């Protein structure tokens, strides 16, 4: 039963991540066709800033399951949340300070990728 809970969570997270990635690729292509390459790259960076931290969190969130491992579940979930936040901040810093990307496409890519992930999770509830 406990393994089943973790497996179900992993399955939902994988499906949501796949949907998020497909949406991101579609919007990156649209941005590339309708705008400049620089804006498409900035948009792609924004989607990556959303996708990678979500995957980090999912790895930690679904490592353990069950009432007998409640302490491990809580600790892993907390660690995943902290790492997700740290990764997001670091990736934004790299995008703006390191790569000097235009902010609007970066934030647009981040927002679209994040909303697509939420929609996928909401649809699977």
- Nearby residues of 63 by Cβ (< 8 Å), 6 or more positions away: 6, 72, 76
Q: Tens digits of per-residue pLDDT, 61-107?
A: 888 877 678 899 899 999 999 999 999 999 999 999 999 999 999 99
What pLDDT was estimated at residue 114? 97
Question: What is the average pLDDT across 46-72?
Answer: 90
Which has more confidence, 66 or 22? 22
- Mean pLDDT check: name the lowest of 20-24, 66-70, 83-87, 114-118: 66-70
Residues in contact with 71: Cβ distance below 8 Å, sequence separation at least 6, in sequence order: none
User: Residue 3: is its pLDDT beyond 90?
Assistant: no
Give me the mean pLDDT over the 38-53 stretch: 98
pTM over 0.85: yes
How much is the average pLDDT of 113-118? Answer: 96
- Cα 41 to Cα 9, 38, 53, 73, 109: the distances in Å are 32, 5, 19, 37, 10
Average pLDDT, the chain: 92
- pLDDT for position 38: 96
């Amino acid at each position: 039963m406990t393994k089943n809970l973790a497996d179900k969570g992993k399955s939902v997270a994988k499906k949501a991540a796949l949907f998020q990635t497909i949406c991101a690729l579609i919007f990156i292509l649209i941005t590339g066709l309708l705008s400049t390459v620089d804006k498409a790259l900035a948009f792609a960076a924004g989607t990556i800033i959303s996708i990678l931290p979500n995957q980090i969190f999912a790895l930690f969130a679904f490592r353990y399951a069950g009432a007998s491992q409640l302490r491990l579940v809580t600790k892993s979930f907390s660690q995943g949340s902290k790492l997700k936040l740290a990764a997001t901040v670091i990736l934004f810093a790299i995008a703006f300070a390191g790569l000097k990307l235009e902010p609007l496409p970066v934030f647009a890519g981040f927002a679209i990728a994040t909303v697509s992930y939420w929609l996928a999770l909401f649809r699977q509830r």
